[in-house]
Amino acid sequence: MRRLVPVIAAMLALAACSSAGSGGGQAGSDGELACALVRKLPDRMPDQPSSDSSDHSFDVAVGRLGTAAELARVAALDEKKYQPLADSLATARQTFSTTYDIHRAEPAIKQARTHC
């Protein structure tokens, strides 16, 4: 299930684009969508639940972080103004990937917020 969370988060972001575009409104750019996900991340990231927990807040937060990082990376390819956001989110994602401690990624997430 944990492997599906980033995929599900990406699908939700794409659905948001589709629904925003279908009503005649302009869908957000990749950078705007990345910032929307960053704003949904809590200031204090949730602790990893026990394996029998029904609390999915940790998985949701990790999925949003990964999806925001990827959207920011793509946005920076198109518009250099998103490079600082992409760098901050890449640092957060890399920190989590190497330490498996989401709380150690919080400073980079805080920095990413300043670029939104």
Say which residue, 35 or 26, is predicted with more confidence. 35
Give the rounded distance of the alpha carbon of 101 from its chain centre. Answer: 16
Helix-, strand-, coil-residue percentages of the chain, each rounded to 5: 75, 0, 25
Residues 4-18 pLDDT 10s? 455 455 544 454 544
How much is the average pLDDT of 72-89?
Answer: 97
Nearest partner of 116 among 52, 71, 62, judged by Cα: 71
* Calpha distance 104→114 (Å, rounded): 18
